Amino acid sequence: MGRSDTRARIQGAATVLFRRHGYSATGLKRIAAEADAPFGSIYHFFPGGKQQLAEDMIRTSGTEYGRMVLALLDSVPDPVESLVHAFEAAADSLAAADYADACPIGTVALEVASSNEALRIATAEVFEEWVGAATRWFGRWVAEPETARSLAYSMVMTLEGAFMLSRAARDPEPLRVAGRSMATLLRAAIARADGE
């Protein structure tokens, strides 16, 4: 039976390269080389070729990344502090990775939005998954579901935009600003509910 980890190595290399350089700029030969796997093995394990490799990567690492962020948010009791802390952690880890590894699907999402329907849908479903999870998290401190959902959208969007600016400028500052903005947004939502 399948007794090797070749498949996992291919998936791992694909995840890193797609996340770092995007879909079009990543070649299968490069994935095979980086995974230290024979080229043919890619098509053995992923008969759907490059697209299947990317779709698997989007869904797998998308779900995993969402869980990671949620766990990070749960690691600090106060939600406002937690937001600042989570964005701070993202800033630190991005800088530590030399501004290469940010959101696992952001780059691909923009690339394929108007040219590859299957991959576009995969990214959309991952984003929806994130927004849903974040809505439930905000729902713990904000009563109205609509407000919680707006905050969730804002958090995902701000994170994605901050990743873009931080990577372009090679500067963690945008991510830090993003965290403080989200904190302000949550405080405003809680204050509005309290005040009326």
In degrees, rounded to 5, the angle at the alpha carbon of residue 184 between the alpha carbons of residues 149 and 161 is 65
Smallest separation (angstroms) from DNA to the CB of 4: 4
Q: Return the residues of window 30-49 that contact DNA according to CB under 7 A.
A: 30, 37-41, 43-45, 47, 49
Q: Does 51 bind DNA (CB under 7 A)?
A: yes
Q: Of the candidates 140, 131, 139, which has an alpha carbon nearest to the alpha carbon of residue 159?
A: 131
- Nearer to a second copy by C-beta: 81 or 173? 173
Distance (Å, rounded) from C-alpha 125 to C-alpha 55? 11
Interface stretch with DNA, choices 21-29, 62-70, 87-95, 146-154 (CB under 7 A): 21-29
Smallest separation (angstroms) from DNA to the CB of 60: 18
Q: Of the candidates 43, 7, 26, which has an alpha carbon nearest to the alpha carbon of residue 112?
A: 26
In degrees, rounded to 5, the angle at the alpha carbon of residue 10 between the alpha carbons of residues 71 and 3 is 95
CB neighbour burial string for 49-79, b if at least 16 within 10 angstroms, e if fewer: ebeebbbbbbbebbeebbeebbeebeeeeeb
Smallest separation (angstroms) from a second copy to the CB of 156: 7
Residue from 13, 15, 23, 142 touching a second copy (CB under 8 A): that is 23
Q: Does 153 bind a second copy (CB under 8 A)?
A: yes
Residue from 6, 9, 12, 22 touching a second copy (CB under 8 A): that is 22
Is-contact 79 68, C-beta < 8 A?
A: no
Q: Does 77 bind a second copy (CB under 8 A)?
A: no
Q: How far apart are the first and last CA of the chain?
A: 64
CA atoms within 13 A on the CB side of 14: 27
The binder of 60, among a second copy, DNA, none, by C-beta within 5 to 8 A per type, is none
Q: Which positions ≥6 away from 183 have C-beta within 8 Å?
A: 80, 81, 83, 84
Smallest separation (angstroms) from a second copy to the CB of 7: 26
Q: Does 43 bind a second copy (CB under 8 A)?
A: no
Q: Does 143 bind a second copy (CB under 8 A)?
A: no
Q: Return the residues of window 141-170 that contact DNA according to CB under 7 A.
A: none
Residues near DNA (CB under 7 A) are 1-4, 6-7, 26-30, 37-41, 43-45, 47, 49-51
